[in-house]
């Protein structure tokens, strides 16, 4: 990781969890920083916008949807799905769409491991919904926008009453630099 290379004496612990779980851990003081959906943020938390990302259908490069410009919810939910377990915003999004439109999803697999989701999709065993920033960096899979565009605002959050160490502030600035470089590279 580039941050660890630049600051080898700093200890960084990364916890992989859903946005709701991260919020709860921040509120309880179990985490100093966390990436969350930057919407309806609880009052005790402060956030700094990191990026805007789109939710896309993700299929293997050989899937019939791979050459499509958009995918409808009807088409998406007619497929076998691999999804994160409850608690991840990807899953919350899918569950919400199902409730609102009366879909019965066919969850063939559920896991909290992104690497496993990508492997199953790459193998053509199921499809999923992920943020476009994931699919942009992966070989063997294609992200297709949904017919009705879905965007999420992501931010880095911390407790307003908590103390941000120099290492915390440095990490926030590093993230902003990296995201700016990524955005600038995409636009070039």
Contact of 63 with 178, CB cutoff 8 Å:
no
Query: In this model, does residue 175 exceed pLDDT 80?
Result: yes
**CATH 3.40.190.290 residue ranges in the chain?**
52-151
Residues 80-95: tens digit of each pLDDT: 999 998 878 888 888 9
- Domain 2-49+156-176 in CATH 3.40.190.10? The answer is yes
Tell me the CATH number for domain 52-151.
3.40.190.290
**CATH 3.40.190.10 residue ranges in the chain?**
2-49+156-176
pTM of model > 0.85: no
Query: Between these two residues, 184 and 30, which has the higher pLDDT value?
Result: 30
């Amino acid at each position: 990781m580039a941050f660890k290379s630049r600051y080898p004496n700093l200890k960084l612990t990364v916890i992989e969890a859903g946005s709701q779980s991260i919020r709860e851990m921040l509120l309880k003081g179990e985490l100093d920083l966390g990436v969350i959906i930057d919407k309806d943020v609880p009052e005790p938390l402060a956030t700094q916008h990191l990026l805007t990302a789109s939710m896309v259908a993700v299929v293997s490069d050989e899937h019939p949807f791979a050459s499509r410009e958009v995918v409808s919810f009807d088409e998406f939910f007619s497929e076998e799905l691999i999804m994160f377990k409850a608690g991840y915003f990807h899953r919350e999004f899918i569950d919400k769409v199902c409730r609102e439109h009366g879909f019965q999803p066919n969850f063939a697999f559920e896991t909290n491991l992104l690497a496993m989701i990508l492997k199953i999709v790459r193998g053509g065993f199921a499809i999923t919904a992920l943020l476009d920033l994931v699919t942009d960096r992966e070989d063997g899979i294609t992200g297709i926008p949904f017919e009705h565009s879905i965007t999420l605002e992501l931010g880095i959050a911390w407790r307003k009453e908590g103390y941000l160490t120099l290492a915390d502030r440095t990490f926030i600035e590093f993230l902003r630099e990296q995201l700016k470089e990524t955005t600038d590279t995409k636009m070039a």
